[in-house]
């Protein structure tokens, strides 16, 4: 059987949804790959899900499955349901914050009854979403999860600070820095809780003059030189800013880019009417175009050098700061300004 990408994707989807038994059963009547063939053509990363409190040992086990990196954190929807975790003989799917209130191990019938009673009483909740922390190696276009934990949307910035610090500590305790590379940044999404926790964790320590980066960065006037422990810097997902600019469908990044490019094309308008109000409106549009063009080009123009990218982003930062100082929330919401 010729191996095609569609066959590989379909076989992998069936394995993920129904497990190896469903894959074997369907392969008897459909042209699917066997589990052994899938392992030969796919890199599988085994992740130990979080049950109860987060510990460094769990994160180190997941780091051990990895083969200059950056930490990434994001959230995704989660089906509110309990699952049985055979490797730990326990119940998964309970939220991180409240699961320590009950023993999730299934030792006997009373253990299951106690978990059910706590759920019905509202003292323990199912996770409404799952927070995924992972590692992105700069040499690869792949995301490696190292922590997966359910959340019930009641977590505080202090809880996220603990998670951030624990993942960083586990990374260094596992000796991954020597084998894989040092961590440069911690990238968060647009969640305000993540923002506050990120500031408290990674914008605290002034870059030391003994750092190899100091000689270059200290000459960039106005650049934030505050980092976290191990010189890890706070960063944000650039795609999130584009999502905010196109809120109708935040997942449609190509449409957001297309919309921004259409706005940028408005700079070519030559007002025929010499009305003062119209000229003022066109000038305002051109300022907005300058802001959006400086933001977008470094991410979509592959010809730009690193120096040109930095110049463009610096231009964007200064233009946005100047306009925001003058217009405040009339220009854009505070949240959008912070993310940009």
**Helix 253-265 and helix 276-300: axis angle, to 10°?**
140
Across the beta sheet with 69-77, the strand order is 143-151, 129-137, 69-77, 183-188, 233-236
DSSP letter assigned to residue 136 = E
pTM over 0.95: no
Query: What averages of pLDDT result for each successive group of 10 residues across the chain (340 residues)?
Result: 74 82 84 78 66 70 63 87 85 88 88 89 89 82 85 89 91 80 82 87 90 83 85 79 61 77 83 77 86 88 86 90 88 78
Give 125's contacts (C-beta < 8 A, 6+ positions apart): 94, 95, 98, 119, 152, 154
Query: Which pLDDT value is given to residue 164?
Result: 92
For 141, the 3-state DSSP assignment is: coil
Query: Which pLDDT value is given to residue 67?
Result: 47
16 token code pair: 């993920």
Query: Which pLDDT value is given to residue 337?
Result: 80
Query: Which pLDDT value is given to residue 44?
Result: 64
Query: Which pLDDT value is given to residue 200?
Result: 92
* Closest residue by Cα to residue 199 from 239, 173, 168, 236: 236
In whole angstroms, what is the distance from residue 235 CA to residue 7 CA?
Answer: 38
């Amino acid at each position: 059987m010729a191996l095609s990408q569609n066959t590989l994707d379909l076989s992998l989807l069936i394995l993920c949804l129904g497990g190896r038994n469903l894959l074997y059963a369907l392969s008897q009547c459909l042209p699917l790959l066997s589990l052994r063939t899938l392992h030969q053509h796919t890199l599988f990363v085994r992740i130990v899900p979080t049950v109860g409190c987060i510990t460094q040992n769990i994160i180190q086990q997941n780091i051990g499955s990895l083969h200059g990196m950056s930490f990434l954190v994001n959230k995704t929807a989660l089906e509110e349901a309990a699952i049985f975790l055979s490797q730990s003989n326990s119940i998964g799917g309970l939220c991180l914050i409240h699961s320590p209130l009950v023993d999730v191990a299934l030792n006997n019938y009373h253990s299951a009854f106690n978990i059910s009673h706590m759920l019905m009483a509202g003292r323990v909740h199912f996770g409404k979403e799952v927070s995924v922390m992972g590692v992105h190696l700069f040499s690869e276009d792949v995301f490696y999860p190292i922590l997966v934990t359910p959340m019930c949307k009641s977590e505080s910035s202090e809880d996220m600070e603990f998670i951030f610090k624990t993942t960083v500590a586990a990374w260094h305790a596992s000796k991954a820095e020597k084998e894989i590379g040092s961590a440069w940044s911690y990238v968060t999404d647009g969640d305000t809780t993540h923002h506050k926790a990120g500031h408290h964790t990674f914008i605290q320590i002034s870059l030391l003059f003994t750092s190899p980066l100091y000689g270059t960065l200290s000459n960039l006037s106005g650049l934030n030189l505050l980092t976290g422990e191990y010189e890890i810097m706070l960063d944000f997902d650039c795609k999130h800013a584009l999502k905010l600019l196109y809120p109708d469908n935040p997942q449609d990044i190509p449409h957001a880019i297309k919309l921004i490019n259409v706005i940028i094309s408005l700079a070519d308008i030559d007002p025929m009417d010499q009305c003062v109000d119209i000229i003022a409106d066109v000038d305002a549009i051109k300022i907005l175009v300058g802001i959006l063009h400086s933001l977008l080009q470094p991410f979509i123009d592959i010809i730009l050098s690193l120096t040109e990218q930095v110049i463009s982003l610096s231009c964007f930062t200064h233009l946005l700061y100047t306009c925001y100082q003058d217009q405040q929330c009339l220009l854009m919401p505070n949240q959008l300004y912070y993310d940009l």
